[in-house]
Amino acid sequence: MDELARRLGLRTNPQIFFWSAGLMIAILILLLAFPGPLGEVFGQGRDWVVTHLGWFFILGVTTWVLFLIWVAFSRYGSLRLGADDDRPAYGNLSWFAMLFAGGIGTVLMFWGVAEPMSHFAAPPFPDVEPYSVEAARSAMSISLYHLSIHTWAIFTLPGLAFGYFVYRKGLPLRFSSAFYPLLKERIHGTPGKVIDVFAVLGTIFGLAVSLGLGTSQISAGLSSLTGLEDAVWLRVVIITVLTIVATASIVAGLDKGVKRLSNLNILTAVALMIFVLFAGETVFLLRQLIESLGYYLQDVVRLSFWNDAMAEFSKEGGWGWQGGWTVFYWAWTVTWSPFMGIFLARISRGRTIREFVGGVLVAPSVFTLVWFVVFGWSAMELDGIGGSGGELSAAVAESVPLAMFAFFENFPLATLTSGIAIVVVALFFATSSDSASLVVDMLCSGEAEGGPTRQRVFWGVSEGAVAASLIVLGGDEALTSLQQVITVMGLPVFILVFAMVPMLVMAFREEGFVVRKGRVPAGEGPIIPKEETGDADDRRAGSSPAP
């Protein structure tokens, strides 16, 4: 493998690169050659995971939220992701735009109208009437639970682990570096490489689901505007075109490519949101902004532990609803947490743990709150709160990807706003593929900078090919197919990310920080290394931050 990598002019770890690429291509061939049997296998696998381990996904993500809050407020919160004298490379505005546009933008565009309307029309709680005031309130709380702090905790945990082990301990920029407290130097051997291959495959398939959702939405929008049939062939064409655009951005690199696209699409999305705010019921939405935050804070603890254990006694469905929503979200999100984790660590070097956790958990969650209030409450108000459902809920029931465009038909300049929405989704698509390609390349090479252009282009094209294959596999039921595949593939990645919690705890204990005696109570004030107190510290050599 080393000789082949040399002949191809690659700068990467040959074992990780070729095993990841080979397994990905093998899976692609199987998906295209046996779509029916594989569809059944993934369907059965998804049912088993949801039924037997759905509780594990729900408890796991809630555990991560609590752990991150503890770390941020602990004495370790002042540690920097890098050397003590490192400072952030990006300003707060660019930092926020880059972390937000890493992939979640596509999700908000897809679900901003569709998820609140889905829960509004079919509440998961047995004592809530569809289309009622209570249904609207619970729909908003559930939507915020799914896509705010809990989702970003799934990104923040691996981001914190990578930033700490890579930039503070000087380990390679690979997923396996987060397991150094357990594996030690074996992260460079077979155990570490197996973990890295899993991370690469999980990232590619997780991103493919996100790109598949975005493509479905673009296809539905184009069909609505032009009359073209919303068919599989159109989605494949869209993926092909946007993959070419993303590949062009890949060649430009992180600072020129991702930063520019991130700033552009976040500004466009904000402009679209402001238009809806002022073209709709402005005062109603501003009042709901405050009230929805209160209901979310009131409901989030209950939702964080709710897994419908009494479903068989209260109503039908049970894990059918949880599997299609919460478990799907967590399994899907965790598959691209290696990508987002590395990406977040890469753009956050020099920030303290407290800044990192607070910024990544809070800033995108606030934006998500505003987004869902503007689009979700506007949609439910248009459909008729307290009534029996209207045209918008019927449109969402017929086609989830069409929800946003059916929503814009109720506003002035519907054609123009729908066209802008398509552009925004396309930009988020390109940004996600761009940044993920760079990160996958880093996962393979272990270097903070991208390798040769051919490596990054390969991964960019691969992401588009996997997304297209999943669309073909699913056919007209593409969304269901995407849910099945990602729920199964998300399980091993979820277990690996969960293991990062004890890894970080072990590493923090070995950090060697103690409170200076007689100065401040334990857990407060400045912290100093053991070396300054005369205590022995067995920190390994070479623990300075990576260049």
pLDDT digits (tens, 9 = 90+) for 325-365: 898 889 888 987 888 888 888 888 889 999 999 989 988 89
Q: Is the dihedral of CA 34, 39, 42, 44 positive or negative?
A: negative
Which of 39, 433, 541, 395 shows the shortest CA–CA distance to 211? 433
Q: Which stretch, 154-163, 238-247, 440-449, 488-497, has highest mean pLDDT?
A: 154-163
Q: Which is more confident, 323 or 258?
A: 323
How distant, in Å, are the alpha carbons of 22, 33, 83 from that of 39? 21, 11, 49
pTM of the model: 0.84
Find out whether 507 and 220 touch, Cβ atoms under 8 Å.
no
Distance of alpha carbon 513 from alpha carbon 515, whole angstroms: 7
pLDDT confidence bin for 262, thresholds 50/70/90:
low
pLDDT at res. 255: 52
Distance of alpha carbon 128 from alpha carbon 146, whole angstroms: 19
> What's the helix, strand, coil split of the chain in %, to 5?
80, 0, 20
pLDDT over threshold 50, residue 547: no
Q: Quickly count: other Cβ atoms within 10 Å of residue 422's Cβ.
A: 22
pLDDT digits (tens, 9 = 90+) for 178-228: 999 999 899 989 999 999 998 888 888 877 777 777 788 888 888 878 878
Q: How many residues belong to the chain?
A: 547
pLDDT over threshold 50, residue 372: yes
Kindly state the average pLDDT of the residues 102-106.
63
Q: Quickly count: other Cβ atoms within 10 Å of residue 278's Cβ.
A: 10
pLDDT digits (tens, 9 = 90+) for 407-452: 998 999 888 888 888 888 887 777 777 777 777 888 887 776 666 7
Q: Quickly count: other Cβ atoms within 10 Å of residue 10's Cβ.
A: 20
Report residue 513: phi and psi, to 5°.
-90, 135
pLDDT at res. 253: 55
Token pair for 211: 């790109």
pLDDT over threshold 80, residue 402: yes
Distance of alpha carbon 393 from alpha carbon 411, whole angstroms: 16
Find out whether 166 and 449 touch, Cβ atoms under 8 Å.
no
Amino acid, single-letter form, for residue 129: E
CATH topology of domain 15-79+91-307+327-511: Amino acid/polyamine transporter I (1.20.1740)
pLDDT digits (tens, 9 = 90+) for 277-297: 999 899 999 999 999 999 999
